[in-house]
Amino acid sequence: MTSPLDPQRRIYSHINGHPADVLDRLTVSELCKGWPVYRDASEWKNFRSLFCHDAFVWTTWSKRQTIDSFIQVSKEGKARGDFIMHRECGTSVDLNPQTRRAVGKMKATITQRFAIPGDAARGVAPVVFDVDCDCRFHFFCLQEPVDYEGSDSDSDGPGAISHGRDGLEWKVRYVKLIYDKDKVVPADGKTAPTFSEDVLRRCPEGYRYLGAAQRMLGHDVDEFLPTIQGSEEGTAHRLWLDMYEKMGQWLDGEEDIDLSSPVSGGKGANGVANGNGHGNGNGLGRR
């Protein structure tokens, strides 16, 4: 269930406004859409170009990774047969024109294919299924100086790279998701596995089936990521509220926000964890 509480404390530029603000929001929206388009197709150079040099991302199966490490483990996962796709369902952007910061909010569905081997000798067919997880990506973006290696700033014509306004361009510094709900989808429309309650309880309500299935592949799944569902009907999950607090800090210009997952030892996946695991969890020092 979702909470009726509004988690965002103030309104930023998100619709209409000055044409320059509209253009900035459109540019950030392009960055967000690059995740499903480029990563799913293994367009790694295009995917990498979305991010700052010192960017970090969080996912269920990878936990916190630098962007370059995330690309490497993504390649390794695909080589082993990991099959993860993303459907973008809509994107909006909050922009603070004064601080030149933005947060892209992309509604998406993660859909991952899994297979439980059968036994041909006994006539047992494999069980093939998807897990679909509705979620919201959050892209913490800022402007930084243009740095195209090997590019010619005076070049023009077909294939030339367009530089940003005033020598600046929008890039992604952090990506972290809020997970809404998930489900098992049988590939043949009828056959699906059943996970035990003990296995499902290890992850919050928002991605418990996804987490259980990813563990089948040997992934060390992060059990403390934000979800929209509180432990009781109509309540807000603390990590959900915490994410919005971090988005506000970012938009207001803070240099190094802490997006680290909480330390274990709290009240379980759907409860309130003890502490946020603070301590420069992004791996960055303050500038």
The pairing of beta strand 168-186 with beta strand 51-59 = parallel
Which residues does 48 contact at the CB level (< 8 Å), separation at least 6? 67, 68, 71
For residue 58, give the nearest of 46, 43, 69, 47 by alpha carbon: 69
Q: Does residue 287 register a pLDDT over 80?
A: no
Please state the rounded mean pLDDT for residues 16-39. Answer: 98
Q: Does residue 261 register a pLDDT over 50?
A: yes
Q: Long-range contact list for 248-253, CB < 8 A, 24+ apart?
A: 248/8, 248/9, 248/10, 250/101, 250/103, 250/140, 250/174, 251/12, 251/94, 251/95, 251/96, 251/99, 251/101, 251/102, 251/103, 252/96, 252/99, 252/101, 253/96, 253/98, 253/99, 253/101
Question: Hunting for tokens 């909006």 — which residue is that?
Answer: 92
> Is 254:280 a contact under the CB 8 Å cutoff?
no
> Residue 44: which H helix or E strand, with range?
helix 44-48
- Confidence (pLDDT) at 262: 64
- Confidence (pLDDT) at 148: 58
- Confidence (pLDDT) at 154: 44
Among 40-54, 112-126, 153-167, 248-262, the range with the most confident prediction by mean pLDDT is 40-54
Dihedral sign for Cα atoms in the order 254, 260, 266, 271: positive
Q: Please give the distance of CA 56 from its chain centroid, rounded to a whole number.
A: 10
Q: Does residue 192 register a pLDDT over 80?
A: yes
Please state the rounded mean pLDDT for residues 262-273. Answer: 46
Single-letter amino acid code for the residue at 108: A
Please, which pLDDT band fits residue 218 given cuts at 50, 70 and 90? Answer: very high
- Confidence (pLDDT) at 245: 95
Report the predicted TM-score, pTM, of the whole model to 2 decimal places.
Answer: 0.86
For residue 140, give the nearest of 100, 107, 108 by alpha carbon: 100
- Name the average pLDDT for the chain: 86
Q: Does residue 190 register a pLDDT over 90?
A: yes
Q: What letter would DSSP give residue 72?
A: H
- Confidence (pLDDT) at 2: 78
Q: Residues, the chain, total?
A: 287
Single-letter amino acid code for the residue at 180: D
> Is 48:67 a contact under the CB 8 Å cutoff?
yes
Residue 106 tokens read as 């992309």
Least confident of 20-34, 107-121, 153-167: 153-167
